[in-house]
Structure 1
Amino acid sequence: MTSETAQENPCLPGGLIALDQWKTPETSVQKTLRSGLRDILQQLRAGMTPEDQAFESLDDLPALSHAKLGRYAPQPEAGELAGAINECLASLRQGGTHNRQVSFLVAPPFSGIQGALRASGLRAISPPDNLLMAEKDISGWWDEQLAGDDWVVPELADFWLRHRSGMGLLKEFFARVAMEGAGKGMVGCSSWCWQFWVQYLPELHVAPLTVAPLTDDRLTRWLAFLASGTAGGPLTARMTNDGLYVLPAPEEGCERKYSDFARDLATMARGNRGVAHAIWQRTLRARAEEDTENGDKEEKKDSPDNGPSCWVAPLEQLSLPAVPQSNGRQPGHILHALLLHNGLTSEQLQLVTGLPGQEISLSLARFQRADLVTQGDTVGAFRVTPLGYPAVRKYLQSRGYPVDGF
């Protein structure tokens, strides 16, 4: 067991790292060769014997039932992530590597930071109803919000609009942080919002932190951890096409043959927790005869740990959302604005893009049909979906939009 594995909180593999230390998961040829060599050595140790039995192809299996999906791949708990973040911050402060009064946590969308900060137990500062607040009122508003006990801003992207009258709140906030006049708190910030503001204010230096990217090893341990509290035992997951294992997490001396699925998923998701989790849910499958209320008893026969088991479809068999073809610039403007502001209403989209409302409505409807965008139930804001995010990011980058660093 590595020192990282031994010391880390299982719901936050890799912990928090400095923003400039973040990099996409390794996909080098050397790692592929090491993986192949490890497989060969495992075969030699096993006496060159095949798997326990000839594997029957299990392509075209049905998706897991909603109940099993909730047990085998549950949504991460915001409270647990909040506790892990606090532990990491305390450790960094104790080690002398983080001594800021205001801690900035910058992360790509769907990383769970916003929910964790809301569950931190600290006083959460919410944005005002009017993001186009007059300059004369902004200072007094922040005086009131920052006074008193420690605070958190769950998502900084919610406090501004890319409009000549919509940037005052954050300009004042950053000025106060720079002058150590904001008290003690934590700030969550979307990587897209951060990318804009570090270019707009190049002298902004706040030593931001971020969650470590999910490499294949970290991803495997994280997925196993998520299932451990709800699945009723260690979850065993094997590929439908060749029977190689994905879960449980490999242990030293283990003779099971493991798939490269976790490595490929980490690469596809660019180390993004929320995106990887959404794709993982899409890949899970069950035998038709197992996907019943009585199936839980039967499925344990396939599990080496006498726990629940399921199957995993290869990533190349998935049909993930794609951005519809378009000759205009409207789709890019809308998608970029949604990521820049962590979601917007149709009225706010008109304000920040300058596009007519009818064009925005048509584009949003098209994005919703393509599963790229969803609309919230409360304020009606539109947001990019985790499954659609990889395609949206690639689309924006290919068309020259400034993308985040993740």
Structure 2
Amino acid sequence: MKNKTNEHEADPCLPGGLLPVEQWALPQTSVHRSLKDAIGHVLKQLRAGVSQAEEPFESMDQLPELSTIQKKRLVPEPDHSGRAAAIAYSLNTARSEGVLIREVACLVAPPFSGVEQALAHFSQSGQQSVREAGGEAWRRIRPPDTLLLDARAASEWWDKQDLSLPWVIPELSNFWLRHISGLALVKELFRRIASGEAGAGIVGCSSWCWQYWGHYLENAQMSPMTPAPMESERLGAWFTHLASGSDGVSLVARMAVDGSYVLPLPETADAKKEQGTRKRKHSTFLRDLAATSRGNPGVALAIWQRALRARPDDDASVDEADEKAKRQSRTADCWVVPLEQLNLPTMPQSQESITGFVLHGLLLHNGLDAALLEAVTGVCYHQLSHVLSRLQRAELVVYDQSDERWQVTAIGYPTVRRHLQSWGFPVDQF
């Protein structure tokens, strides 16, 4: 039976709304595509020893990747405040329908889903959209400077946090370390939630962090919820929403190889009959992208940005008011390179297992600086620097200057997850 919380399907900021984690399902792809991916993966690994600089990707239509200006216009970064309002609405709906009965809501999502950024907006002043969607004025709980605490120190720290008023933790990964002295804060938080000592709150949690704690405290019964997976129609609606922006530009995207349409999405039979439009040939690109990204919006957006092509002269300035007015009544055209033609990151060949420990540690903690990464993996700084440098050159990790920590990249996440699974590491369910 379809969950009622999915009646919020039309919201482009959070298509499908929220649903219980156990109802999440991987977007499907065709058998043809699955076989092609399997063969392509083997071939890429056979070529992994060859420098990427020696085999540059040439698109089918010879058009360059999008410039910075074109990316801002056609595939801008998501509006996290809009997603925050959509999450508040979905949580409020879930409570009113009895789907969510706990005082503390737990939102579990894979990396790059945008949940952490959206929950951070709950605590920002002036977030009227969140309150209008059924939320309150939330107080953000930030982690202490040190995470290496014993049980008594952790309890004393939580005593100082006011959990009687609505509170939010955008990402639980920031409150622990996989270290003998780094578990106390999260253990004490879950104890207080289970005993009813914490008031209304929201805990955002990376799926990799949850994979660990879900087994560590399997009796906690948090009944987590998660955003619905981005299947093809939801991706199409979301990409269209991002491109429209404040200018109302309608995005038309067609495959570079045969001209078949990716966007706009296919119209319903009734809409075609009313408008008398001619049937268009549509590509399966969005369906394949949904499967490749495993329904993850951030990963899908990163691949979508790399797949788009546009003419260089489309960089013309749009600062003038009259030009902006013209754009409101026209469409923006771009071309899409097939997934199998994209130069996506591959895992460097290595006989050492420490690469897996480094990547798994980064995902468990949603990113770490070198010192903490050394503490949770046991890999010495000298080896760690070499591994991180190699992974950075392969586009699998990046150093975030603002957070001063290393993170797995969205574009490299599918490769990282696939390899961690093949190496025998415990992976998330998404």
Give the alignment's TM-score, normalised by structure 2: 0.83
Give the alignment's TM-score, normalised by structure 1: 0.87
- For 1:363 and 1:63, the matched residues in 2 are separated by 29
Letter in 1 for 2:211: Q
- For 1:166 and 1:293, the matched residues in 2 are separated by 52
Correspondence for 2:245 among 202, 226, 229: 229
1:129-176 C-alpha deviation (Å, 9 max, x unpaired): 100023222112112223442110000011000000000001101111
Structure 2 partner of 1:216: 232
Structure 1 partner of 2:167: 151
Aligned positions of 1:125-204 closer than 5 A = 125-204=141-220
Does structure 2 retain, via aligned residues, the 8 Å contact 1:232–1:307? no
Does structure 1 retain, via aligned residues, the 8 Å contact 2:8–2:16? no
Asked if 1:286 is matched to 2:310, the reply is yes
Asked if 1:358 is matched to 2:382, the reply is yes
Letter in 2 for 1:143: D
Using a 3 Å threshold, how does the CA distance of structure 1 residues 64 and 232 change in structure 2: closer, same or farther? farther
- Counterpart of 1:96 in 2: which secondary structure? coil
- Counterpart of 2:265 in 1: which secondary structure? coil
Q: Which runs of 5+ in 2 are unaligned?
A: 35-58, 124-137, 273-278
Asked if 1:322 is matched to 2:346, the reply is yes
Structure 1 partner of 2:410: 386
CA RMSD, aligned part only? 2.5
Per mean C-alpha deviation after superposition, the further-off stretch among 19-28 and 395-404 is 19-28
Identity of aligned residues (%): 49
Aligned positions of 1:4-403 closer than 5 A = 7-28=9-30, 59-121=61-123, 122-230=138-246, 232-253=248-269, 254=272, 255-293=279-317, 306-403=330-427
- Counterpart of 2:122 in 1: which secondary structure? coil
- For 2:33 and 2:356, the matched residues in 1 are separated by 36
Q: Which runs of 5+ in 1 are unaligned?
A: 33-56
- Counterpart of 1:218 in 2: which secondary structure? helix
Structure 1 residue 23: Cα displacement? 1.1
1:48-103 C-alpha deviation (Å, 9 max, x unpaired): xxxxxxxxx96221112211211111111110000000111111111111121000
- Counterpart of 1:237 in 2: which secondary structure? strand
- For 1:5 and 1:388, the matched residues in 2 are separated by 33
Size of the aligned set, in residue pairs, is 376
- Counterpart of 1:347 in 2: which secondary structure? helix
Structure 1 residue 5: Cα displacement? 7.7
Letter in 1 for 2:383: E
- For 2:355 and 2:223, the matched residues in 1 are separated by 34
Structure 1 residue 403: Cα displacement? 0.4
- For 1:31 and 1:339, the matched residues in 2 are separated by 28
1:266-301 C-alpha deviation (Å, 9 max, x unpaired): 01100001000010011110124444449x999xx9
- Counterpart of 2:107 in 1: which secondary structure? strand
Does structure 2 retain, via aligned residues, the 8 Å contact 1:146–1:183? no
- For 1:7 and 1:336, the matched residues in 2 are separated by 33
Does structure 1 retain, via aligned residues, the 8 Å contact 2:11–2:86? yes
Using a 3 Å threshold, how does the CA distance of structure 1 residues 31 and 372 change in structure 2: closer, same or farther? closer
Per mean C-alpha deviation after superposition, the further-off stretch among 198-207 and 6-15 is 6-15
